[in-house]
């Protein structure tokens, strides 16, 4: 019973803050509304026994939203936060599509005869997850890590306008790189 109340409260918080993201005019409020939505979902995951995943979700998303807020402030310039300007397009079709999808998904969720539960959860779910990714599912983790690493590299390459020739000179022989800002290692 208590769990039910908690769940529905969290559900309301999650969806309401999700809607808030696209309603408020303030960039900071939009970003942190999304963070609240993620926190609510994270707690729901903890309720269904996914302690590690739920808490990791909260950790990652709060971090990401803190960074996201900076990007919002940085790039949105003249934005709805300061001047009430509409930065949307094809609102009506988006709404129709979204509602249509919701009806479809909701119908699916309610009408499909879901099978009964197969198997029982492990006693220590976190440990079982660890064993899974270090055992039978190691390949998945082995794939994720190079993908993440490639993402770091690709992100830097895309975002950074300065290559090594800009930094170290045409013959790469400059002794200290020509950076707009000095680093901490005396380079």
Partner 1 sequence: MGLTSVLARWASKRVHVLIIEVPGWGASRMLLEAELDRRGWAVALSPADADLLAVCGMPGEELRAACDFVWNQLPGPRARVNVTGSGSLSTLLNEASAHLGDDSAQREDARSRSQNTVAEDSAPDAGEHDGMAPEEMDHGSMDHGMDHGEMDMPMPGGIPLAEGGDDRDGLEMDFLTVPFGPVMPHWPAGLVVDCVLQGDVVVSAQARVLEAVSAPTEVSTEEMTYLVEARLRIIRLCDHASQLLALAGWQTAAQNARRLRDDARWSADIAEHVAPLDRLRRRVERSVLLRWSLKGISLGGISVGRPVGGTDALAEAGAATPADQAGVAIRDRLIGWLHEAAALAATSSDTRSPAAGDLDRAREARDLLGALPALLRGTELGTARLLIAGLGLDTAALAPAHERTHD
Partner 2 sequence: MTLQAVLLVAAALFCVGLYGALSQQVVVMVMMGLELMLNGVILAAGAFWWFLSPAPDGQVLLLIVIAAMTVEMAMGFAVATLLHRSRGSDMTDSATDLSG
Partner 3 sequence: MTEPIVQVSPAWAVLTPFLLMLLALTAAGLNGALVARTAGRPLRSGLAAPLGEVARLLRQRRQVTVAADVVLWRIGAAGLVVVAILKILVIPLGPWTLADLDVGVVWFNTMDVMTWALFWLIGWGANSAYALVGGYRFLSLAVSYELPLMFALIAPAVAARSLQVGDVVAAQQDLWFVIWMPVAFVIFCGSVIAFSSWGPFATGAGRDIAGGFLADVSGVDRLLILAGRYAVLTAGAAFAVPVFLGGGGGPLLPEWLWTIVKTFLVLAVFVAIRHRVPTIRPDRFAEVAWIIVLPAALLQVLVVAIIVVGS
Residue ranges that bind partner 3, judged by CB under 8 A = 26, 28-29, 32, 35, 51-52, 55-56, 58-59, 62-63, 65-67, 69-70, 124-127, 181-185, 187
The residue among 102 and 165 lying less far from partner 2, judged by its C-beta, is 102
Report DSSP state, residue 152: H
Is residue 84 within the footprint of partner 1 (CB under 8 A)?
yes
The residue among 82 and 140 lying less far from partner 3, judged by its C-beta, is 82
Token readout for 30 is 């939009």
Q: 83 touches which of partner 2, partner 3, partner 1, none (CB within 5 to 8 A by kind)?
A: partner 1
DSSP 5-61: HHHHHHHHHHHHHHHHHHH-S-HHHHHHHHHHHHHHHHHHHHHTT-HHHHHHHHHHH
Q: What is the CA radius of gyration of the chain?
A: 23
Is residue 121 within the footprint of partner 2 (CB under 8 A)?
yes
Is residue 152 within the footprint of partner 2 (CB under 8 A)?
yes
Is residue 77 within the footprint of partner 1 (CB under 8 A)?
yes
* Contact call for residues 43 and 3 (beta carbons, < 8 A): no
Is residue 79 within the footprint of partner 2 (CB under 8 A)?
yes
The residue among 60 and 82 lying less far from partner 2, judged by its C-beta, is 60
Give the CA-trace dihedral at 23, 94, 10, 1, to 10 degrees: 140
* Contact call for residues 52 and 61 (beta carbons, < 8 A): no
Which one of the spans 94-102, 162-170, 175-183 is the region binding partner 2 (CB under 8 A)?
Answer: 94-102
CA distance 54 to 46: 5
Minimum Å gap between C-beta 129 and partner 3 is 10
**Interface residues toward partner 1, by CB under 8 A:** 25-29, 73-74, 76-79, 81-84, 161, 180-182, 184, 186
């Amino acid at each position: 019973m208590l769990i039910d109340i908690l769940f529905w409260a969290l559900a309301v918080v999650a969806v309401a803050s999700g809607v808030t993201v696209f309603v408020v005019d303030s960039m900071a409020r939009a970003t942190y509304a999304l963070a609240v939505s993620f926190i609510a979902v994270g707690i729901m995951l903890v309720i269904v026994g996914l302690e590690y995943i739920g808490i990791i979700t909260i950790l990652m998303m709060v971090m990401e939203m803190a960074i996201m807020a900076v990007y919002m402030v940085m790039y949105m310039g003249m934005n709805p936060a300061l001047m009430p300007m509409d930065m949307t397009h094809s609102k009506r079709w988006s709404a129709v599509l979204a509602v249509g999808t919701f009806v479809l998904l909701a119908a699916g969720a309610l009408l499909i005869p879901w099978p009964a539960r197969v198997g029982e959860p492990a006693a220590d779910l976190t440990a079982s997850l660890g064993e899974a990714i270090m055992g039978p599912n190691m390949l998945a983790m082995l794939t994720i890590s190079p993908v993440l690493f490639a993402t770091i590299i690709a992100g830097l390459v895309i975002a950074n306008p300065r290559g090594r020739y800009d930094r170290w000179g045409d013959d790469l022989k400059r002794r200290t790189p020509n950076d707009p800002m000095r680093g901490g290692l005396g380079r």
